[in-house]
Amino acid sequence: MLSCQNVSIRYQVGDFKNIGLKEWVMRRLTGRYNVVDFWADRDITFSLDEGDMLGIIGTNGAGKSTLLKAVSGIMEPTAGKIDRKGNVVALLELASGFDGDLTVKENAYLRGAMLGYTRRFLDETYASIIEFAELNGFEDRPFKQLSSGMRSRLAFSIASLVKPEILILDEVLSVGDGAFRKKSEAKMREIIKSGATTILVSHSIEQVRTMCNKVLWLDKGRQIDFTDDVKGCCDRYEEFLAGRK
């Protein structure tokens, strides 16, 4: 369903971040221009079959989120190849993309439209969206009055209506309080059981242990391990973290 072969992703950082176009051109012409290549990911290789759930682990700056953006098609890798079979739904940065001045209901319809839902579908499912997000009574409130947790719950509720063939989750199972986390995790299990191939990025090692059948460990953009020995890899990762303290 999904494979990455020697995927590398490079960012270029340098003077163009801090100067205008005219000054940038002048520095290029005079040779006083400095660009540094930063490789967020280098030579990442893995493959997933239908129904697999891959947990990606690694500390901040490991390259996890950048890899997800490439897998989801948001950005192209600098080198390597990504093959996807089926539609991809990526739940990344859940609380972004809303309009703070619109109401909760208006934002629900707006986000649904952005995900490709029809007006008829949203009319039929709106009540269940609000109920799942636990936002009854807040529907006419300006979105900017919601807490960050409430915003994330609404985004998760809308996005979880889809039935993707490839599902990408970036820390989305940590939204809300403990009760909502259990509910969102159960919802994701339901989607996964339908046959979706899933990638989960989570700082919860226990979540990766219990939900995933494969694991990819990244560190500073490099692939440390890709294996179906989830417990063994998670144990080694925890030992690695303990050694850094």
- C-alpha 238/C-alpha 242 separation (Å) is 6
Nearest to 35 by CA among 5, 59, 7, 15: 15
pLDDT at 59 over 80: yes
pLDDT at 81 over 90: yes
Q: Which residues pair with 2 in a beta bridge?
A: 48, 84
Amino acid at 33: Y
pLDDT band, residue 169 (cuts 50/70/90)? confident
Q: 123-168 pLDDT, tens per residue?
A: 999 999 999 999 999 999 999 999 878 888 888 888 777 777 888 8
Architecture of domain 2-244: 3-Layer(aba) Sandwich (3.40)
pLDDT at 184 over 60: yes
Q: 82-131 pLDDT, tens per residue?
A: 999 887 877 776 666 789 999 999 999 988 887 778 899 999 999 999 99
Residue 116, pLDDT score: 77
Evaluate whether 24 touches 60 at the Cβ level (below 8 Å).
Answer: no
Q: Which of 39-53, 177-191, 221-235 has the lowest mean pLDDT?
A: 177-191
Is 0.85 topped by the overall pTM?
Answer: no
pLDDT at 220 over 90: yes
Residue for token pair 């950082």: 13
